[in-house]
């Protein structure tokens, strides 16, 4: 049944193939000769198959795991340098008709406060985010055809892009909403979204249907095939992910890579991003009720393997994770993180973090300024860049840029210029001092002299008050 080019979910995510893969991995987890061959192949920077990757995941030989971690760090630096892209989630509504057993927004939760932002409330949220310094948002909303129809999402996108406050502007909106129709994906594309993101939650069909007992999300095939409809609707960049803790992590990992292989086989380009959320406490949700939780070391290994197996993808870790965990996985491959996040509807406008409508508990509750300062102290460049979306470098065009090694001549200067904007407009004095020193040092790492000179000129103009330069 397994066919990565099939349009059918149960054929490109084959249960039988995953079971065979896990059995093969278990049989070969101590096969040093095979493991060395797989790691050697990974060094060619063309990725690994789900079966090869599963062998590395099963391997528990310490020196081989360390070799994997070193390789993940090497690949991350080669393709993404020291840049870390910053974003924030924005919750529009927690009305939802689904019965997801791991999410507090489920329909049977009668005591959670239900809220939907008006356009006026949304505008205040956006201004609050702009005042923090954010340029990129990920929209979140429950699935409810009455309260959250596609027309409401489109209206919200239009409102967000229309708001210019002081030097602030949201330059790119990514969207994380329920699986929908090709027609609706076309509407989202026309509205100017960046990436369409949808977590699979679990690739195990039987578990999926049990975890989603009621509502339209119960339909495993419709949900799993959503990315194909999104691409048919013209959306170049899609982001996938599983919610680790719902099913056995080795099963999920194989399914995740099979999904990436399917997108590459059918559409010629894999996922633009892969997210790795873990189930967290929230309202009436107890993560201990789920028996497949993973520890921090396993989580780090999964992140390293994703970077090695899908070397060109962006990897996202949210504020679900603590500062210490985020620090470890950034080194191993993560390229995008959220900062100053609030996971409640209307949370940014409030001075004190509200918890009554949170989708999950936030582990890293630092401000954006604190996160930016921390990243720079670690030697990373916090980037608020959205240039590729706005210049049409999406889908296979972005992947070509990444594979050619030209990111250092394009994304590196864009990162420095957007960081300069942040330092001028939003940063604390201490953060600005650290950032100015970092920019001065990192300019020397731009390979092309002409690009470096243009970047230096733009930085001077930003200092003088001009905004929004990009390569």
| DSSP of 427-464 | --HHHHHHHHHHHHHHGGG-S-HHHHHHHHHHHHHHHT
Which carries the bigger pLDDT value, residue 385 or residue 389?
385
17 contact partners, CB below 8 Å, separation of at least 6: 1, 2, 258
3-state secondary structure of 252: helix
Range list of β-strands (E), 295-434: 314-317, 336-338, 381-383
Q: Is the pLDDT of residue 54 over 70?
A: yes
The tokens of 372 are what? Answer: 């930016």
pLDDT at 455: 95
| Beta carbons of 385 and 415 less than 8 angstroms apart | yes
Instruction: Give the range among 81-95, 397-411, 429-443 with minimum mean pLDDT.
Output: 397-411
21 contact partners, CB below 8 Å, separation of at least 6: 50, 51, 54, 254
SS (H, E, C) 277-306: CECCCECCECHHHCCCCCCHHHHHHHHHHH
404 pLDDT tier (thresholds 50, 70, 90): low
Q: What is the pTM of this model?
A: 0.94
pLDDT in tens, 237-284: 999 999 999 999 999 999 999 999 999 999 999 999 999 999 887 777
Across the range 440-452, mean pLDDT stands at 92
| Beta carbons of 357 and 376 less than 8 angstroms apart | no
Q: Which of 434, 409, 436 is nearest to 421 (CA)?
A: 436
The tokens of 431 are what? Answer: 């953060």
Q: Is the pLDDT of residue 125 over 70?
A: yes
328 pLDDT tier (thresholds 50, 70, 90): very high
pLDDT at 411: 86
Q: Is the pLDDT of residue 366 over 90?
A: yes
pLDDT at 388: 77
Which carries the bigger pLDDT value, residue 350 or residue 21?
21
pLDDT at 402: 65
Distances (CA, A) of 65 to 30, 76, 177, 277, 332: 12, 16, 36, 22, 12
pLDDT in tens, 202-221: 999 999 999 999 999 999 99
**b/e burial code for range 198-209 (CB count within 10 A of at least 16 → b):** bebbbbbbebbe
The percentage of the chain sitting over the pLDDT mark of 90, rounded to a whole number, equals: 83
Q: Is the pLDDT of residue 39 over 80?
A: yes
pLDDT at 405: 61
The tokens of 382 are what? Answer: 């916090």
Which carries the bigger pLDDT value, residue 470 or residue 195?
195
Across the range 371-387, mean pLDDT stands at 95
Which carries the bigger pLDDT value, residue 151 or residue 343?
151
* Whole-angstrom distance, CA of residue 132 vs CA of residue 380: 19
The percentage of the chain sitting over the pLDDT mark of 70, rounded to a whole number, equals: 96
Distances (CA, A) of 429 to 2, 140, 376, 438, 466: 57, 33, 14, 14, 20
Phi, psi of 140 (to 5 degrees): -125, 140
79 pLDDT tier (thresholds 50, 70, 90): confident
pLDDT at 449: 92
């Amino acid at each position: 049944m397994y066919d990565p080019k099939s349009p059918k979910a149960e054929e490109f995510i084959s249960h039988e193939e995953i079971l065979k893969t896990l059995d093969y991995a278990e049989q070969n987890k101590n096969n040093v000769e095979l493991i060395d061959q797989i790691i050697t192949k990974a060094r060619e920077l063309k990725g690994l198959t789900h079966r090869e990757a599963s062998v590395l995941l099963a391997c528990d030989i310490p020196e081989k795991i360390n070799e994997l971690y070193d390789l993940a760090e090497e690949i991350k630096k080669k393709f993404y340098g020291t840049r870390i892209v910053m974003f924030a989630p924005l919750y529009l509504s927690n009305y939802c008709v689904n019965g997801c057993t791991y999410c507090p927004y489920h329909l049977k939760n009668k005591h959670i406060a239900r809220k939907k932002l008006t356009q006026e409330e949304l505008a205040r949220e956006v201004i609050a985010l702009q005042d923090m310094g954010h340029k990129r948002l990920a929209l979140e909303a429950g699935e409810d055809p009455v309260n959250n129809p596609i027309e409401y999402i489109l209206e919200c996108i239009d409102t967000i892009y229309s708001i210019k406050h002081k030097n602030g502007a949201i330059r790119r909106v990514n969207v994380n909403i329920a699986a929908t129709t090709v027609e609706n994906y076309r509407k989202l594309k026309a509205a100017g979204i960046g990436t369409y993101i949808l977590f699979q939650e679990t690739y195990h069909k039987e578990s999926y249907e049990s975890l989603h007992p009621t509502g339209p999300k119960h339909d495993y095939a419709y949900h799993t095939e959503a990315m194909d409809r999104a691409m048919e609707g013209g959306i170049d960049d899609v982001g996938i992910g599983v919610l680790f803790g719902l099913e056995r992590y080795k099963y999920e990992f194989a399914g995740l890579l099979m999904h990436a292989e399917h997108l590459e086989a059918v559409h010629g380009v894999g996922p633009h991003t892969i997210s790795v959320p873990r189930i967290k406490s929230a309202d009436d949700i107890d993560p201990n009720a789920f028996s497949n939780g993973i520890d921090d070391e396993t989580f780090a290994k999964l992140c390293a393997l994703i970077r090695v197996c899908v070397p060109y993808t962006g990897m996202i870790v949210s504020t679900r994770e603590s500062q210490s965990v985020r620090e470890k996985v950034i080194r191993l491959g993560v390229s995008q993180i959220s900062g100053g996040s609030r996971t409640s509807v209307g949370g940014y406008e409030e001075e004190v973090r509200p918890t009554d409508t949170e989708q999950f508990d936030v582990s890293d509750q630092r401000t954006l300024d604190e996160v930016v300062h921390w990243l720079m102290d670690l030697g990373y460049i916090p980037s608020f860049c959205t240039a590729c979306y706005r210049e049409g470098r999406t889908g296979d065009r972005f992947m070509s840029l990444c594979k050619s090694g030209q990111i250092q001549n394009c994304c590196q200067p864009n990162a420095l210029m957007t960081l300069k904007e942040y330092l001028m407009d939003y940063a604390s004095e201490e953060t600005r001092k650290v950032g100015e020193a970092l920019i001065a040092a990192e300019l020397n790492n731009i390979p092309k002299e002409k690009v470096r000179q243009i970047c230096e000129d733009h930085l001077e103009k930003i200092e003088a008050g001009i905004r929004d330069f990009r390569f």
